[in-house]
């Protein structure tokens, strides 16, 4: 919404600078997005035509001598209306103007025109960017002295407002003027609504019927006979041009002027083309057709409200008039409409027909019916002024929705204090509301407030609290830190667990990423997820084809991130994401399941002078999982598993014995064909996935905060044992069997060897066993005995041989 300051000043005195005014309006809720100065042109000043003489070599051109305050210049001019004694806009060489022919900005150059040097230019409206007029020069009516910047005469300041949807009144300049009056304390001058009428009653000249009153709470109309359609006077054209609106003819321009002035769109019908001079407001018939003013024939449906005469539709209510009753050069009598329409229906109609206009924009915000009559009278007065004619006595007025209007809102003192927490004085409350146009009557306990016709947004006492607060200024109101009770604390295990997982993963050196929740079915197909994976949640209107379903797994996003980073990042790539995946449950909302996923790829360490450490692999990923789970007090087991995303034989499921073997996730190296599908050619990429709801069960089963056990004070006796076993024997099983011996307090594999001096299919596992007794120092003999018994157990269970 653009508001020229000059137009605003028709209704309210403005002493503030534009910037200060903008600030005050913004603070009170009418946000001023931009303050723009127009009409100021460098190098263009007020000049005085001293003399006009013929051009020696061209009949149509003349030589004009101009006093521009800083001297006298001779310019060549083609305009027929230039004359001695005029005040004009003089542009000196170098001025930035609009080219009269191309319409583009251009810089004025010194020119020789038909042998005579022109030292500048006398400007037309178009050259100054004021309008389309280019046949003659702009003659100024000004007292400004010669040489004054042209902006002081023709310049204006435009406030560009960013309005909130609740304030359609500010879609009229008078509405903005009311805000200005309220915040500055200036007096508002209302537009003049009075006009002379003829002898005939409007009710005798036309008839009106609202058939669908649910969509049209009020319809008013006046009849003006004997108008003379023609171009608008300059002031009216200028006013519309300042808002970027093209003038059409005096009647249409007057209605548009009132729309910008009061925010109420109006429409003028050619009275004589309205059959029976009868207006019917009704839903369209199925398949009914109407050619609108833009010359498009539209097929309508009963969802659409039309203005009709007894024969046919003559306009789309609140959106656009019909061509069949359009005002034209031959129009003599007009029927002027000003009405209120249901905002929702209006919005749907303009959207379904892809017809948005300045009118529909205002109607869909919901205008109060009280405004209809005010705007009708104002527009009637203006049409009489600019197009002549005679208005009928009275107006046509159907107001079926009158009972639904909120006229009064009661604001109690108690409510005001309870909402604002400020003890405002009665007088301040009353004067603030009055300054906005509310009528206030106090009854000792509060105020009965009459809501003016231009404020559809005020309907409850809280609305009035805002009115008072915003005009006084939010910053002027008191501030306190809660004096109330705190709610009892309640735990949030899901959030706590996520926090611990994230803390564990970052401590393990992983970088958190956040990927999009939307993906495609094809994208996830690359992961070969099991067929038991729940259905997708499909998006009806995806923002792009790449986000047509909600993700069911976090694996895709992280592999995509790994693939991208492998191109640009030389160091280790160690990422994790924790977030929701979405599983369709068929009924109701989907299951939003909290997962965490990690991926490791690239070198194990940054480039370092002391050497690196090879590529990140399965054991790095597993280490991250072990660390993270251990921090949560979870002891996990890793056993081989098949998972089609992961390489066969290089994947483990993570289970928690303390929780009955509950599976909490998987870890493994990504299968070659999956890497290929993600465009990754530099493996390995290791991946792990943790299911947080399962982790939550595992945490509670792992007896958090269990009792402290005293550590053993007797010395440890470490012994190493190397055994040769089949390749298929899992290290974890060897450790498990060794740990069965009650003197063993820890068993750690510290070497795995395969090589030429071992038979094919065999490997050697070196295990450090630590023997310790809680009750005595072990003798060498006792340790030897235990070591032998472990070796025996290993050879019994796995055919292990001690490596010599």
Partner 1 sequence: MTDSANGNSSATPQAIERLTSSAERELEALGGEGEKLEAWRVKYLGRRGALTSILRSLGSLPAADRRVAGAAANRAKARLEGLLDKRLAASGTPGPIGAIDVTLPGRRHVRGRLHPSTQTIQEILAAFNAMGFQTVEGPQVEWERYNFDMLNIPPDHPARDSHDTIWIDRSGGDGILLRTQTSPMQVRTLESTTPPVRIVVPGLCYRFEATDATHEWQFHQIEGLAVDTDITFADLKGTLYEFARRIFGPDRKVRFRCDFFPFVEPGVEMAVDCFKCFGQGCRLCKQTGYIEILGAGMVHPNVLRNAGHDPERYTGYAFGMGPERIAMLRHGIDDIRHFFANDLRFLTQF
Q: Quick one: 488 or 649, whose CB is closer to partner 1?
A: 488
Determine which residue in the list 478, 705, 755, 761 makes contact with partner 1, applying CB under 8 A: 478
Residue nearer to partner 1 on the CB measure, 165 or 755: 165
- Stretch touching partner 1 by CB under 8 A, among 108-116, 261-269, 480-488, 730-738: 480-488
Minimum CB separation of residue 484 from partner 1 in Å reads 4
213 is an interface residue for partner 1 by CB under 8 A: no
Element (H, E) at 338: strand 334-340
Question: How many Å apart are CA 575 and CA 579, to the nearest integer?
Answer: 13
Our measurement of the distance from residue 34's CA atom to the centroid of its chain's CA atoms, rounded to an integer in Å, reads 19
Near partner 1 by CB under 8 A: residue from 84, 296, 495, 731? 495
Indicate which single residue of 196, 445, 484, 681 sits in contact with partner 1 (rule: CB under 8 A): 484
Q: Out of 16, 27, 186, 770, point to the residue binding partner 1 (CB under 8 A).
A: 27
CA distance 112 to 106: 17
Asked if residue 424 binds partner 1 (CB under 8 A), the reply is: no
46 φ, ψ (degrees, to nearest 5): -75, 130
Comparing C-alpha atoms, which of 376, 12, 368, 396 is closest to residue 203? 396
Least Å distance between CB 469 and partner 1? Answer: 5
Q: Least distance to partner 1 from the beta carbon of 487, Å? A: 4
State the binding string over 433-462 for partner 1 (x if CB under 8 A, else -): ---------------------------x-x
Minimum distance from residue 516 beta carbon to partner 1 (Å) = 6
What is the SS3 assignment for 800? coil
Q: Is 475 in the site for partner 1 (CB under 8 A)?
A: yes
Among the listed residues 477, 658, 730, 732, the single contact to partner 1 using CB under 8 A: 477
Among 134, 225, 500, 502, binds partner 1 (CB under 8 A): 502
Rounded Cα gap, residues 253 and 498, in angstroms: 64
Q: Which is nearer to partner 1, 225 or 413 (CB)?
A: 413
* Residue keyed to tokens 């013929």: 54
The footprint of partner 1 on residues 403-422 (CB under 8 A) is: 417-422
Rounded to whole angstroms, how far apart are CA atoms 289 and 299? 5
Backbone angles phi, psi at 134, to 5 degrees: -140, 5
Residue selected from 60, 109, 112, 482 as contacting partner 1 according to rule CB under 8 A: 482
In whole angstroms, give the CA distance from residue 535 to residue 557: 18
β partners of residue 408:
450
Give least dist CB 345 to partner 1, A: 8
Q: Does residue 115 bind partner 1 (CB under 8 A)?
A: no
Cβ–Cβ < 8 Å for 398, 217: no
Token pair listed for 58: 């061209």
Query: Rounded to the nearest whole angstrom, what is the least distance from the CB of residue 456 to partner 1 in the complex?
Result: 11
Taking CB under 8 A as the criterion, the residue among 213, 406, 520, 565 binding partner 1 is 565
Window 339-378: contact mask with partner 1 (x via CB under 8 A): ----xx--xx---------------xxx------------
166 binds partner 1 (CB under 8 A): yes
Contacts of residue 499, defined as CB under 8 A and 6 or more positions apart, other chains included, come to none
Q: Which stretch binds partner 1 (CB under 8 A): 92-100, 149-157, 252-260, 491-499?
A: 491-499
Distance CA 62, CA 59 (A): 8
Q: Which residue has the tokens 């208005």?
A: 391
CA-closest candidate to residue 67, choices 45, 40, 35: 45
What whole-number distance in Å separates Cα of residue 371 and Cα of residue 247?
24
Task: Restricting to residues 125-164, name those near partner 1 by CB under 8 A.
Answer: 164
Give CA angle at 710 (706, 712), nearest 5°.
Answer: 135
The angle at the Cα of 635, spanning 629 to 640, to the nearest 5 degrees, equals: 90
Q: Site for partner 1 (CB under 8 A): which residue of 207, 225, 450, 580?
A: 580
Which of 451, 505, 601, 685: binder of partner 1 (CB under 8 A)?
505
Give the strand order in the sheet containing 646-656. Answer: 511-512, 573-583, 591-601, 685-691, 662-670, 646-656, 637-640
Q: Is 506 in the site for partner 1 (CB under 8 A)?
A: yes
Is residue 490 near partner 1 by the rule CB under 8 A?
A: yes
**Span 512-541, contacts to partner 1 by CB under 8 A:** 512-518, 537-541
Told to check if 582 binds partner 1 by CB under 8 A, we report yes
- In the bound state with partner 1, the residue whose beta carbon lies nearer, of 351 and 448, is 351
**What end-to-end distance do the CA atoms of the chain give, in Å?**
92
The nearest distance, CB 592 to partner 1, in angstroms, is: 6
564 binds partner 1 (CB under 8 A): yes
Closest-CA residue to 445 (of 415, 421, 473, 472): 415
Question: Contact at 8 Å (CB) between 186 and 13?
Answer: yes
- Using the rule CB under 8 A, give the single segment among 249-257, 470-478, 636-644, 792-800 that binds partner 1: 470-478
Q: Rounded to the nearest whole angstrom, what is the least distance from the CB of residue 664 to partner 1 in the complex?
A: 20
Interface region with partner 1, contact rule CB under 8 A, candidates 381-389, 527-535, 565-573, 784-792: 565-573
CB closer to partner 1, 82 vs 367: 367
Give the total residue count for the chain. Answer: 804
The span from the CA of 635 to the CA of 31, in Å, is 59
Query: Which among 587, 586, 613 is positioned nearest to 600, based on CA atoms?
Result: 613
Q: Which residue of 403, 479, 545, 780 would you call a contact of partner 1, by CB under 8 A? A: 479
Contact 720, 769 (CB under 8 A): yes
Q: Is 277 in the site for partner 1 (CB under 8 A)?
A: no
Q: Does 178 bind partner 1 (CB under 8 A)?
A: no
Closest CB 540 distance from partner 1, rounded Å: 4
Q: Does 509 bind partner 1 (CB under 8 A)?
A: yes
Q: Which is nearer to partner 1, 373 or 594 (CB)?
A: 594
Query: 584 CB contacts (<8 Å, ≥6 apart)?
Result: 534, 535, 536, 537, 590, 591
Which residue, 343, 1, 36, is CA-closest to 177? 1
Six-digit token string for 402: 């009158």
Q: Which of 102, 354, 485, 804 binds partner 1 (CB under 8 A)?
A: 485
Q: Among 568, 710, 756, 757, which residue sits at the site for partner 1 (rule: CB under 8 A)?
A: 568
List the one residue out of 64, 33, 32 whose CA is nearest residue 48: 64
Contact 182, 435 (CB under 8 A): yes
Site for partner 1 in 586-645 (CB under 8 A): 588-590, 592, 605-606, 608-610
Q: Does 77 bind partner 1 (CB under 8 A)?
A: no
Q: Which of 37, 192, 234, 569 binds partner 1 (CB under 8 A)?
A: 569
The minimum distance between CB 611 and partner 1, in angstroms, equals 10
Interstrand relation of 278-283 and 207-210 (parallel, antiparallel or unpaired): parallel
Three-state secondary-structure class, residue 6 = helix
Q: How many residues in the shown chain lie near partner 1 by CB under 8 A?
A: 94
Query: What is the C-alpha separation between 82 and 62, in angstroms, rounded?
Result: 9
Alpha carbon separation from 468 to 432, 435, 591, 621 (Å, rounded): 6, 10, 46, 62
**Taking CB under 8 A as the rule, does residue 209 contact partner 1?**
no
CB of 502 to partner 1, least distance (A): 6
Q: Which of 53, 492, 639, 792 binds partner 1 (CB under 8 A)?
A: 492
Cα torsion 179, 180, 182, 183 to 10°: value is 110
Asked if residue 663 binds partner 1 (CB under 8 A), the reply is no
Q: Which of residues 325-344 bind partner 1 (CB under 8 A)?
A: 343-344
The residue within the footprint of partner 1, chosen from 572, 665, 668, 684 (CB under 8 A), is 572
């Amino acid at each position: 919404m653009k508001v020229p300051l000059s137009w605003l000043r028709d209704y309210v005195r403005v002493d503030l600078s534009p910037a200060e005014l903008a600030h005050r309006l913004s603070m009170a809720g009418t946000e001023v997005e931009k303050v723009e100065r127009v009409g100021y042109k460098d190098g263009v000043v007020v000049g005085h035509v001293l003399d006009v003489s013929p051009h020696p070599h061209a009949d149509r051109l003349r030589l004009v001598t101009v006093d521009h305050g800083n001297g006298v210049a001779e310019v060549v001019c083609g305009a027929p209306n230039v004359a001695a004694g005029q005040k004009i806009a003089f542009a000196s060489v170098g001025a930035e103007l609009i080219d009269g022919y191309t319409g583009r900005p251009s810089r004025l150059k010194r020119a020789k025109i038909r042998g005579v040097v022109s030292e500048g230019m006398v400007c037309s409206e178009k050259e100054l960017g004021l309008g389309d007029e280019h046949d003659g020069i702009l003659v100024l009516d000004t007292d400004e002295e010669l040489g004054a910047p042209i902006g002081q005469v023709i310049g204006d300041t435009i406030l560009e407002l960013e309005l909130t949807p609740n304030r359609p009144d500010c879609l009229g300049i008078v509405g903005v003027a009311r805000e200005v009056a309220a915040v500055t304390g200036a007096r508002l001058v209302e537009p003049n609504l009075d006009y002379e009428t003829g002898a005939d009653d409007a009710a005798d000249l036309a008839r009106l019927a609202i058939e669908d009153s649910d969509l049209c709470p009020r319809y008013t109309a006046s009849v003006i006979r004997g108008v003379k359609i023609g171009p608008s006077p300059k002031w009216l054209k200028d006013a519309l041009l300042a808002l970027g609106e093209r003038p059409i003819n005096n009647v249409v321009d007057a209605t548009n002027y009132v729309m910008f002035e009061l925010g109420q769109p109006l429409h003028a019908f050619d009275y004589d083309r309205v059959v029976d001079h009868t207006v019917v407001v009704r839903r369209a018939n199925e398949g009914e057709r109407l050619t609108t003013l833009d010359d498009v024939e539209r097929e309508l449906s009963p969802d659409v409200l039309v203005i009709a005469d007894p024969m046919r539709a003559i306009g789309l209510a609140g959106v656009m008039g019909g061509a069949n009753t359009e005002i034209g050069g031959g129009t003599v009598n007009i029927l002027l409409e000003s009405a209120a329409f249901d905002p929702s229906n209006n919005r749907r109609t303009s959207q379904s027909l892809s017809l948005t206009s300045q009118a529909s924009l205002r109607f869909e915000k919901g205008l109060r019916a009280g405004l209809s009559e005010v705007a009708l009278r104002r527009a009637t007065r203006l049409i009489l002024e600019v197009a002549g004619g005679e208005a009928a006595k009275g107006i046509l007025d159907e107001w079926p929705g009158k009972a639904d209007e909120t006229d009064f809102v009661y604001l109690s003192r108690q409510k005001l204090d309870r909402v604002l927490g400020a003890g405002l004085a009665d007088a301040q409350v009353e004067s603030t509301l009055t300054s906005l146009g509310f009528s206030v009557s106090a009854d000792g306990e509060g105020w009965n407030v009459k809501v003016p016709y231009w404020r559809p947004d005020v309907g409850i006492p809280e609305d009035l609290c805002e009115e008072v607060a915003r005009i006084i200024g939010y910053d002027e109101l008191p501030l306190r830190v809660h004096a109330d009770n705190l709610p009892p604390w309640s735990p949030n295990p899901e959030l706590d667990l996520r926090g611990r997982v994230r803390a564990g993963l970052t401590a393990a050196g992983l970088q958190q990423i956040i990927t999009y929740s939307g993906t495609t079915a094809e994208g996830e197909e690359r992961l070969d997820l099991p067929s038991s994976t729940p259905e997708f949640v499909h998006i009806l209107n995806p923002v792009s084809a790449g986000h047509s379903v909600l993700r069911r797994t976090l694996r895709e996003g992280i592999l995509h991130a790994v693939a991208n980073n492998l191109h640009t990042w030389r160091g280790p790539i160690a990422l994790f994401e924790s977030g929701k995946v979405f599983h369709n449950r068929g009924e109701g909302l989907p299951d939003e399941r909290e997962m965490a996923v990690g991926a490791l790829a690239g070198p194990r360490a940054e480039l370092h002078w002391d050497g690196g450490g090879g590529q990140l692999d399965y054991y790095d990923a597993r280490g991250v999982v072990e660390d993270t789970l251990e921090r949560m007090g979870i002891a996990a087991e890793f056993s081989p598993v098949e998972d089609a995303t992961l390489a066969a034989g290089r994947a483990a499921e993570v289970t928690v014995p303390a929780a009955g073997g509950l599976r909490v996730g998987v870890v493994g190296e990504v299968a070659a064909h999956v890497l290929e599908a993600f465009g990754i050619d530099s493996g390995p990429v290791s991946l792990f996935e943790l299911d947080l709801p399962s982790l939550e069960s595992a945490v509670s089963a792992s007896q958090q905060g269990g009792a402290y056990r005293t550590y053993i004070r007797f010395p440890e006796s470490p012994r190493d044992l190397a055994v040769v076993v089949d390749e298929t024997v899992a290290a974890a099983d060897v450790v498990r069997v060794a740990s069965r011996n009650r003197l063993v307090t820890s068993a750690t594999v510290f070497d795995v060897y395969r090589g030429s001096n071992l038979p094919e299919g065999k490997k050697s596992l070196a295990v450090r066993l630590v023997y310790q007794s809680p009750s005595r120092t072990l003798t060498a003999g006792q340790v030897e005995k235990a070591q032998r018994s472990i070796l025996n157990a290993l050879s019994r269970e796995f055919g292990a041989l001690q490596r010599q």
